[in-house]
């Protein structure tokens, strides 16, 4: 067999096909368009509480950071959150007041965390979390205890059609 025949018969071009992205498989480097702004996915957290798993993506546009949460319960549930300053102590309270709204605790638990990108420093951590819902059902409040620090975020649910996702180059 000639050199050229061997070269072309055994060499296959590497696949450049990119997996179609959706809210449950976003990767660091992907772009998410939301509310007329383009955000880069710079961090990804995978939470595992028993056999249940959900995701939180750190989105960055300039200096604006948002967190997109995604989980498959009976149906896809999405939320867009921003960190807020709200002093909270453990144990988490049953009700929380924030900016004139009362939030009631819906769920509390503990999850193992896998981190990627800017969130890779959280790899292998355990977080104690609590989720709250406002009286009118429009807003959600999330609390996460990372060691002695408690982070609080406020957000609202959204529909998948409100997001446009473009796979990154990685």
pLDDT, tens only, 74-123: 999 999 999 999 999 889 999 999 999 999 999 999 999 999 999 998 88
The residue to which tokens 């609590």 are assigned: 130
Is residue 12 a part of any domain in this protein? no
Is residue 149 a part of any domain in this protein? yes
Is residue 158 a part of any domain in this protein? yes
> Domain range for residue 30?
20-166
Quick one: what percent of the chain has pLDDT higher than 70? 88
Q: How many structural domains comprise the chain?
A: 1
Is residue 49 a part of any domain in this protein? yes
Q: What is the pTM of this model?
A: 0.86
């Amino acid at each position: 067999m000639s050199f050229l025949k061997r070269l072309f018969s055994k060499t296959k071009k590497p696949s450049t096909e990119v997996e179609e992205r959706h809210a449950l498989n976003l990767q660091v480097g992907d772009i998410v368009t939301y509310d007329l702004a383009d955000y880069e996915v710079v961090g990804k957290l995978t939470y595992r509480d028993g056999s249940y798993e959900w995701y939180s993506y750190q989105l960055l546009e300039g200096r604006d950071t948002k967190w997109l949460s995604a989980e498959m319960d009976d149906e896809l549930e999405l939320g867009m959150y921003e960190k807020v300053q709200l002093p909270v102590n453990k144990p988490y309270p049953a009700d929380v007041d924030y900016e004139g709204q009362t939030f009631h605790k819906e769920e509390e638990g503990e999850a193992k965390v896998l981190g990627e990108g800017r969130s890779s420093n959280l790899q292998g951590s355990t977080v104690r979390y609590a989720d709250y819902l406002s009286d009118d059902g429009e807003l959600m409040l999330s609390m996460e205890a990372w060691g002695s620090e408690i982070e609080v975020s406020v957000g609202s649910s959204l529909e998948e059609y409100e997001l446009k996702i473009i796979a990154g180059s990685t």
